[in-house]
Amino acid sequence: MNERFDAIVMGGGPAGLTAAIYLARARLKTLVVDNATIGGQTNLTHEVANYPGVLNVSGAGLARIMKSQATSFGARIIGHADIIDFDLSGPEKRIEIDDEGVFTAPVVVLATGGVPRTLGLESESRFKGRGISYCATCDGDFFTGKEIVVIGGGNSALEEAVSLTKYATKVTIVHEFDHFQAHPWAVEEARKNPAISFMMNQRVDGFAGGEKLEGVITTDKTTGATVTIPAEGAFLFIGYTPNTAWLKGQVTLNERGEIPVDESLATNIPGVFAAGDARVKRYRQITTAVADGTIAALAAADYLARNQIQA
């Protein structure tokens, strides 16, 4: 099966679904493709408490609403797609999906997202969403009045640790080295906060608890002493990995694997735009992803109009 679209959106998270809503509502023939479950990382969020205008919704519930909106305007969505070939060069972009066929379009929006880096521990997976979080803005208020641990030593770890003191009674920063990689001002701000304590040169060995997290197990890399830090929450800020490895050689990537874009979210390839967590950006939230999806879709529609291209 071969089929031509006006636009193909790679990625079915908030950025991709928003782009699809705008493109399809503009009566542009739109295809959304994701190699996993539609909704992306949003599906892993137990409760979304900071999405404007929406109360008491789960991440998966919000993703379902976005998907329904996109399909209601005529977008076609393929989840769990087995992509076996693609080519973004040239005026017609091409993607081949096993058991589906070959799809082409003059415009592609890359909204492939990304994932926070993990420690790779079995106990980390067990307590993910039950005490372990990777987003202070998303989950900080769930730990009001509790003791928590922040793991990491870069700018994000220290800045988020300070922000979490608005909720938690005590924040313990655990870092694997005896010095921080953050900017001096970030270190100073964290050190002067009375609610923050520090455990340096620590290896995180695991997480303890029953139904929910109760402690973080660490080992001092110098003395070999092992302790369990009491905590009802643990926030990991040890980096972020964009889902862009498969795009290497197709679009320009920076040293972190992020996609550089201009103010209209255009990449270095004409007709290819990038939105959401895969692009170069500082803040990664559902709302920033939705904003990106909007901008990329409007820019893509303008590109089609200026070049008088439409299926």
Annotated catalytic residues are 135, 138-139
Residue 301: C-alpha distances to residues 6, 9, 296 (Å): 9, 13, 9
> Distance (Å, rounded) from C-alpha 49 to C-alpha 63?
14
Ramachandran angles phi, psi of 13, nearest 5°:
-85, -165
Strand partners, 46: none
